[in-house]
Structure 1
Amino acid sequence: MSDEKDTIEVDDDFVIEEPEEVPAVPVETAKTNLSKRRTIDNLLEERRLQRQLADYDFDF
């Protein structure tokens, strides 16, 4: 047996890189997204109905 320590050669082709840090962004839940979508849909429906009422002639 040899008394010399074995050396490990480092290959530069296999450098492990640390992933870039991603800023912490709070994840919105599906329930919140659905709630926002329903609110938008309701506002669009209200606008559509307001336009229909404005176009309707109320004179008799």
Structure 2
Amino acid sequence: MSTDKEDLAIDEDLADTDDSETEPRVEPAKTNLSKRRTIDNMLEERRLQKRLADFDYDL
């Protein structure tokens, strides 16, 4: 009888770990949008800095 109880305990432990692994962590859309805007702003700033560096001031 003690082996039956041990098997149940093992099954419960496996069920707990499987639930946490199968559920993906979902970020809110607002967070994703703000991250995307931040990245877009950084890329635009790099583009502008490159254009300034390449600009010919001796026109």
What TM-score, normalized by structure 2, do the two folds share?
Answer: 0.56
Higher share of residues assigned helix: 2
Counting aligned pairs with the same residue, the percent is 67
What TM-score, normalized by structure 1, do the two folds share?
Answer: 0.55
- From the CA coordinates, give the structure whose radius of gyration is larger: 1
Alignment RMSD (CA, Å)? 2.7
* Count of aligned pairs between the two proteins: 44
Aligned partners of 2:45 and 2:58: how far apart in 1? 23
Which residue pairs with 1:59 in the alignment? 58
Which stretches of structure 1, 4 residues or longer, exceed 3 Å deviation after superposition?
A: none
Alignment gaps of 5+ in structure 1: 1-16
